[in-house]
Amino acid sequence: MKVAEGRLAEAFARIRADKAGPGLVTYITAGDPDLKRTEGILLALQRGGVDVLEVGVPWSDPLADGPVIQRATERALAGGTNLSGVLDMLGRLRPELRVPIVLFSYANPILRMGAERFADRAREAGVDGVLVLDLPIEEAGEFRGLMTTRGIDTILLLSPTTSDARLRAAAGLGSGFLYAISRLGVTGARDAVAEGAEEMVRRIRSVSALPIALGFGISKPEHVREVGKWADAAVVGSALVNVIAQAAGVDQNGELDARVEEYVRWLKS
């Protein structure tokens, strides 16, 4: 059973119908530099033309995040950001956001809140999809059920080492889109798209008709164009988080928001 079509389905339908280029999914760490400025950043990303907003919940022990996102997480936690605060912020901002919101979290903050309470609050906040990075596919069924009954997509993460059997399982459980990571290791901008990225997307296409967003290492317009040859959308995270970190230190009269919007427009160029 798939989630009823909503903002994510509409976004990827538009992307597939638009021959101008691939979609763009952007990751930011909520609360970096603070939750109030996170609101401005999300609106700037929307103005820049982002197709899907991925909002990271800071947690003290990230497994897959490289140095840039780790530092952002540390700054957010030091400022008091937590899952409840992120959901409150998204709920306030939802009426101004037209694009889909995917909440990116590790399992611990969700389990601490309680999975059912989290599901209710995510629905109230207008969240369209949830990606729990360290939730194994084999244990995702119950969580997916909680999301599905509330009209929220469960986004599953696939890596180059994911077996064919687990790819098929993800194709059956996932909804909204599948998030493929192009390389092993932690997040971080790279000079080139990983050599195995095309093969990774091909393997997923062989078992699923769901849209595919490809991430890890993407930071330039040429990366986005290359990814668009195979996948439906490119995911940019660390490079954008780095732009935010650099601009936040000199933020005056909306400079942070302007730089974020400019960077996104550059990526989509």
Cα 42 from chain centroid?
A: 12
Catalytic residue among 32, 39, 51, 65: 65
Catalytic residue among 51, 54, 232, 257: 54
Edge-to-edge strands, sheet with 156-158? 153-154, 129-132, 101-105, 52-56, 23-29, 233-236, 212-215, 178-181, 156-158
Q: Which two tokens stand for residue 62?
A: 């990230």
Q: Decide if 54 is catalytic.
A: yes
216 torsion bin: left (phi>0), alpha (psi -120 to 50), beta (else): left
CA distances in angstroms from 161 to 3, 87, 174, 200, listed in the order given: 27, 33, 18, 9
- C-alpha 263/C-alpha 48 separation (Å) is 8
**Could you list the active site residues?**
54, 65
